[in-house]
Each structure stands twice: as C-alpha cells, then as structure tokens.
Structure 1
C-alpha cells in the first residue's frame, strides 16, 4: 500500500500542465473498438483507469501500445467474449463497453461496474436506451447480458435524468444502428462533444453534441483515425484550487476556460486573483477570501467533481457557506477527515455547512474516493505539520504524476510504500 506524506504550509510557485481529460479517455477507448482499423489517441493521461481499460482490451484480443501519452488501439482482431468481472468491477467507466460491444457484435456480457462509491449510480437509463434500440437486456446478480435477436434499430429516446454515462452509452449503441436515433434531454458535457468528434472522424453521422438533443444517423462501418483528447477540466479545477489555496503565483497550462466557467465564477465571487489567458490561467496570491455557497448541477453548471477540491479553499475563506451536491448528495466522506484536521464543517441532511476561516493541522487521513483524495491533498498542503494520506490508489486512478507536478511548484510531498497493512 502506498501513502502520501505532505509537510504543509509552503507557498507554491511555478507552472502546472494539465493532461488530457480522464472522463473523455474512458469513453474514447471503448469507442475506438468500433473502428475496423487502428485508432490513435493523443494526450492520454497515464492513470490507473487507463491501464485497467487496456487490460480489458487485451482480454478482447485488441492490440494496444501506450507510450508518451499516445495510445494506439487496433481492434481488427477483436473477439466477442464475456467481459472479466474482476477488472470491470474495479472501474466504473468500463460500463461503456456495454454500448460498444452491443454496437460492434450485437451482444455482450458485462459485470456491473465499480469505481468510487458515491451512492447509488443506477444504470436504468442505459438499459432503457438499449431496449429502445431493440436489444434484449437481462440482469442476473449484477451481470448484464445483452443480445439483439432482430438487430439494432434507431429510435427516439428521452432521458428521464440528465446522465453523462447513459448519453455516452446510447451514442455508442446507436452509431451503427439502422436508421435515425434522437436522444432527448442528453447530457451536454465537453467530454460528450469530444466523443462525438472522434466518432464523426471515424465516419459516424452525429449532430447536436453539446446541446440537449443529439441526432444520430446509423452507418455501416467506422474507420480508424487520429484524435487529440481535450484537456481535463477537473484536473485543471483541482490545480487552480491548489493555486488559490497556497500559491504565490502559479500558471496552469492547457486549460479551456469555457469548460470551467462556472468554477472560475465561484472563485471570482470569493475574491481570488486570476488572469485568464488563451489556454492558461495565472493565479496570483489570494488572501482575504470571502465565503460563498455553491450548488452542483449538470454541465454547464458547477461540476460535482470539483465540489470536493474546492472545499479546502472554502475553509480558508471568512464567513458561513453551504455546499449542495444535487448530483451525488452522498459525496461527503471527505468531511470527517477535514474536521480531523481542524475544519469546522457539518453535514446537515443533503447540505454541507462550512464556517471559516479555520487553521488546519496535519493528521492521518484516508482518501475514500478520487476527488476526496484531491481535497485531502490540498488540505495537507494548507495544514501546519505533517499530513499522511492513505487510500492513495483512489487518487492515482484519476491524477497522473500528481506528486511530481506538486513537487515542481515547491510542495513538500512524497509517496512512500506503507509497511503497515491496513
């Protein structure tokens, strides 16, 4: 087991480069198997989730090579086999193989996905969409079996809730279905636009990505292509939070401002000092921060994945504020850990109440999930003394080279092997 040791209280300076988007990559890799020839993805982050997906591709007899953030995927020898349950359960995004294998082979067997536990993450909208396209879906003890006795046919599908996962899976399933599919109340995230850009380069006919109505005309085949992944807006928001919390002057490179507009608006409201460049954001030392309240919403609202990384910055601000996560109300496991470090935060039903400013002191804490881990890293950088973070694998699932990136701007952080078994 690994753990992070952080000696906090140091002012940080320098530049941080943002990787390609994790939440795009985990959809683009399953999408690539729909091609008849090699797909090259550029800017792929070197994170655990990517390696888990590559292991799954290996089981499918898909050839891959991954170096210098360039991933080559050759699905020409791919075989339809039941997916390994162990691998898939370690990774939530592997459920995109449902839509992809259904589209490619007209069948699939998938064990239900894992990933971070953030409360119920139902796949009823995915199943509803597959059935609307003509698939037979059976769910036995968390193993989903998909088949298409009559083939897939386009249909009009209305999403009961705005769901990124269900929108992506429906696009993957319908891209080769006969006729037209219309997805209404679709999610509008930048990662969906990125997926559609790749599929259209491969020969798909999809319009409306980034709006709430996506129109898909089925095609017979898809070809290989090369695609550069968009920057990771959640990673960008995380390091901007680091910079506002502890930076003297930090420049965050490879950022698309429009993708994090709602997040930047909150920081402006708090009084953070930032300069927005063409593809970078320069964060100056930000003292005298004002407390704000925030509510997470589907894109373009405030991202649920940035709620936890921003929480330590709120601890530094003066006043009382609330955080309401309308997407994952149970995303609160970081709160007791922050309180152990000296924060003054209460969970009151579905509302998190923060009072600041509070001085943080280093303590042993555990990262229960990916973004909670990011939150605790930022808190550790702010705290006096030494913070030890366990559960590091959760952090490495989504942040590549987080230790090196923080060391380069002057943080005293290291990853060590933890001899004590948890």
Structure 2
C-alpha cells in the first residue's frame, strides 16, 4: 500500500513535492488492480490555451489533476480569464476580459513549463502583443523554440528578444501564410493552428504533425467556428475567420499514461485494467506489447493489460512520429525489455538525448548499451551527430533496488516501473516532475497493491539496505 506523511495531500489538491521528499518502493511483486486515466496531458493544456481565442466561455471535460493543468489555469488567470471547476474533471474558461499580464508574474507562475510559447498567437489576436519568458521543460533534447518563432514571423509577427524573454507583436495584424516544417513538430503544428484560425486569409501547413492530440485540437477549434482541413500527406489547410466562440469538448484519454501502466504490468508480470483507455490511438503500442509477450483485452470501459506467463521476447524497435511508435512509450517499455530473453534494439528518432535515463537502470542491474550509430532500418536525422540515440538491451536481468533521482517526466515514471519490478527497496527523489503528467499516481500505485511510502526521507523497510 502507499503511505503518505508530511504535508497534507488530500485527494484532488495540488501540493508541490520538494526534492527532499522520497517515494520509497518495496518492489518485486506483480502489480494487480485497476486505475482510471483521464484526458491527455499533451492535449488538455493546448485546448485550455485555445479558449483564449473564443468570445464566449469554453467547457473542457475529462480534465486530469496534473501540474500542467494548474500552470495553464494560473496563466489564464493572469491574463484575465475566469477559470472555474464546477465538477470533478470539468474546467470552464471565460475569456471575456482578457488582458495583459505582468512579465514577472508570468515567469514566476510558468516556472519550467514550455506552455507559454503557445499563448503567443491567441494573445496577439486578442491584445496585439504577447510576452513570453525564458522557457524550461524536460531535459530530453534541445527542443528549440525557433520553430515557433519562425512560424510567428511568417504570419507577420515581429519577434523582439529582450532580457528575460521575448516580446511578440503584430502592428499590421496576423496574416495567413504557407509554412513548411523541416520536421513534423507537434509544438510547431499547434502554434500554427492556434495562430492561423483567426489570421486574415488562408494558411497552408506542410509537414504537419498528425498525432491524435493534434486532431483533437483541430476538433476543438472546429467546434469554435474554425475552418480546418487535414490531408493524408501531412498538409493542414486553415481558412482564417474573424471571430470564434467557446467550445464544449471531452478530452481524449492519455495514451502515454495508458502505455506506462501497461509496461508496469509487463515488467512485474502482473495485470492492470486501465479505465478510460481506448484502442484507436493505441494500436501501434498494442502490436508491440503483444510481440514482446504481453496480452490485452479491449472493452467498452477500457483496456486490460497483463503478462500471461512465459518468457518475454526481445524485439527491434524504432520510435517515430504518429502513426509510428511514440517516443514517450519508449522509456517504460525499455524497463520491460530488461526482462525479455535476448537482445532488444531500440532506435530513438524523435528526441536526441532520451536514453539518459538508462544509466540509473544500469545501477539497478540492467544491461543496456547506448550508441551514436543509427541501429534502425534506416538512418535518422541524428545519425553522425554524436548523439547517443540507439540502445541495446540484454536480458533478462534481475533488477535490484537503488536510490534514483527523476530526470524528466517520462523517465521518472519509468523509474517507478523499474522500482516496482526490482527486488528490495528503491528510493525515488524528484517525484514532483511526475506530477506534471500523471494524475494521482501515488493513489494509483496503492490501487495496484504497491508497497510504497511517500514521506520525507522515510524508508518503507529499514531492515533491507538500499544499494548505493
């Protein structure tokens, strides 16, 4: 069971977790139970930003209680948007009185979040200008914002770099344009959509990202009155309109969290029913899950994942943009592959530095080698650039407990999967990063029968030493 002490963490309350806090996990037992997964982190925050574009209130449903939602809620409030929660999982946003916010307030509230860059187009449409502070985010690659700034310039925006951030204005208004992305960036595609829908004239975007979260954002904007077409060749065409209204929309389920719990079932040889999970956006993952040796059952309520027994199978895998294998699925799957028979090869083609988390897994007993070479079927854009973006995982290897510091959101949850699968005690620090994208994850660990203690420096089992 999950035990909590220290600051009160009542259900539904956003409470920061200091780096001094430790999640202590007694691993080595199968997870078994049911968890509920709500709206996708990679969609919900963007849909909330879209509410700025409307002239009437918007209603977003199936909203999880995660840190990114709190950040966007605060940023909207700083800009005069009235945000309320009339029911669990429901957020109502009234943008009637949108106004400029103080730079210091934006910076203090956004923290390490990269979400403020997506406020640019909507704020320029509403106020004529926007100021974006220096941006942070998970350290999994450079993730430059130059795509965003280049997009805004092509719409006619003036980008003025100043101390502490960037001011964006459009003295002559934003105008439709033709844009070709050098890579199907999700963030840049979102920037185009949020800017083009009220820009004067037509916008044509080539090389767009077409992830399910992008298409759900398109659906939201269409409900608001936008005219958007999506072609099969990654081309998105937008006819700008003068006004947009609010929307009423239910967010699609988070496919990353769904896969994370599925990998926990695989790595620990247990079973998890993920309430709310849906099949269409999970098909690529489900194929790989079955190839490795897992099994699943799709129902109207969700998807049940389990390990049917017998050895797990090594695989060769490449991450890719949708409809390929999602980069955010890679990290928890790598943990499961440490328990597979043989040599698995994973080629990361989306983020150049996403294998940094494997060093800590090595300290837990995993045998993982990372390489600069492209170990996939075709060379990727990182080939020859000295990025360690391929991994060879030899298994099966018993994992043992260790002290771990969370490096980023997805790597952090992968460490939890490893701690659950490992024999002995693991102490995981930096779990506030996991709060960004995984709702009530400590409660869900408890629902799955995990033996964990979330406290300040406490140990779940002092009789067993924690490996250094």
1:193 aligns with 2:215: yes
Query: 1-side partners of 2:154 and 2:179: how far apart?
Result: 7
Residue 431 of structure 2: aligned partner: 392
Q: Could you say what the CA RMSD is over the residues aligned between the two structures, in angstroms?
A: 1.8
Pick aligned residue for 1:360 from 388, 399, 405:
399
Q: Which deviations, in whole Å up to 9, do the C-alpha atoms of 1:350-407 show, x marking residues without a partner?
A: 2112110000111111111000111000001101111110010111111011111121
Residue 319 of structure 1: aligned partner: 342
1:295-306 matches, within 5 Å, as: 295-306=318-329
Residue 253 of structure 1: aligned partner: 275
What is the deviation of 1:142? 5.7
Q: Which deviations, in whole Å up to 9, do the C-alpha atoms of 1:240-297 show, x marking residues without a partner?
A: 1112222543222212222122211111211212223345222233431011121111
Residue 444 of structure 2: aligned partner: 405
Asked if structure 1 preserves the Cα contact closer than 8 Å seen for 2:117 and 2:148, the reply is: no
Residue 121 of structure 1: aligned partner: 143
Residue 22 of structure 2: aligned partner: 3
Query: 2-side partners of 1:98 and 1:383: how far apart?
Result: 45
What is the deviation of 1:89? 3.9
Query: 1-side partners of 2:424 and 2:318: how far apart?
Result: 32
Q: Secondary structure, in 3 states, of the residue corresponding to 2:433? A: helix
Asked if structure 2 preserves the Cα contact closer than 8 Å seen for 1:13 and 1:247, the reply is: no
Residue 34 of structure 1: aligned partner: 53
Asked if structure 2 preserves the Cα contact closer than 8 Å seen for 1:138 and 1:146, the reply is: yes
Residue 367 of structure 2: aligned partner: 344
Query: 1-side partners of 2:108 and 2:371: how far apart?
Result: 36
Asked if structure 1 preserves the Cα contact closer than 8 Å seen for 2:176 and 2:201, the reply is: yes
Q: Which deviations, in whole Å up to 9, do the C-alpha atoms of 1:50-101 show, x marking residues without a partner?
A: 1111111121121111351111111111102354223334212232112221
| Length, aligned pairs only | 420
Pick aligned residue for 1:79 from 66, 78, 99:
99
What is the deviation of 1:141? 4.8
Query: 2-side partners of 1:322 and 1:138: how far apart?
Result: 44
Query: 1-side partners of 2:49 and 2:228: how far apart?
Result: 17
Normalised by the size of structure 1, how large is the TM-score?
0.95
Q: Against the structure 1 CA distance between its residues 273 and 108, is the aligned structure 2 distance closer, same or farther, given a 3 Å change threshold? A: same
Residue 224 of structure 2: aligned partner: 202
Q: Could you list the structure 1 runs, at least 4 aligned residues long, displaced by more than 4 angstroms after superposition.
A: none
Residue 98 of structure 1: aligned partner: 120
1:333 aligns with 2:356: yes
What is the deviation of 1:209? 7.3
Asked if structure 2 preserves the Cα contact closer than 8 Å seen for 1:95 and 1:112, the reply is: no
Pick aligned residue for 2:205 from 183, 206, 218:
183
Query: 2-side partners of 1:209 and 1:142: how far apart?
Result: 39
Pick aligned residue for 1:168 from 176, 181, 190:
190
**Unaligned stretches of 5+ residues in structure 2:** 1-17, 373-388, 460-468
Asked if structure 1 preserves the Cα contact closer than 8 Å seen for 2:198 and 2:240, the reply is: yes
Residue 4 of structure 2: aligned partner: none
1:65 aligns with 2:92: no
- Greater CA drift, 245-254 or 11-20: 245-254
Query: 2-side partners of 1:44 and 1:224: how far apart?
Result: 17
Query: 1-side partners of 2:201 and 2:301: how far apart?
Result: 40
Asked if structure 2 preserves the Cα contact closer than 8 Å seen for 1:99 and 1:169, the reply is: yes
Asked if structure 2 preserves the Cα contact closer than 8 Å seen for 1:312 and 1:378, the reply is: yes
What is the deviation of 1:187? 0.3
Asked if structure 1 preserves the Cα contact closer than 8 Å seen for 2:338 and 2:396, the reply is: yes
1:9-28 matches, within 5 Å, as: 9-28=28-47
Query: 1-side partners of 2:433 and 2:44: how far apart?
Result: 17
Q: Secondary structure, in 3 states, of the residue corresponding to 1:216? A: strand
Asked if structure 2 preserves the Cα contact closer than 8 Å seen for 1:182 and 1:215, the reply is: yes
Pick aligned residue for 2:169 from 98, 122, 147:
147
Query: 2-side partners of 1:229 and 1:177: how far apart?
Result: 25
Normalised by the size of structure 2, how large is the TM-score?
0.86
Q: Secondary structure, in 3 states, of the residue corresponding to 2:340? A: coil
What is the deviation of 1:196? 1.2
Query: 2-side partners of 1:351 and 1:358: how far apart?
Result: 19
Query: 1-side partners of 2:231 and 2:127: how far apart?
Result: 25
What is the deviation of 1:33? 1.1
Query: 2-side partners of 1:359 and 1:239: how far apart?
Result: 20
Query: 2-side partners of 1:264 and 1:246: how far apart?
Result: 18
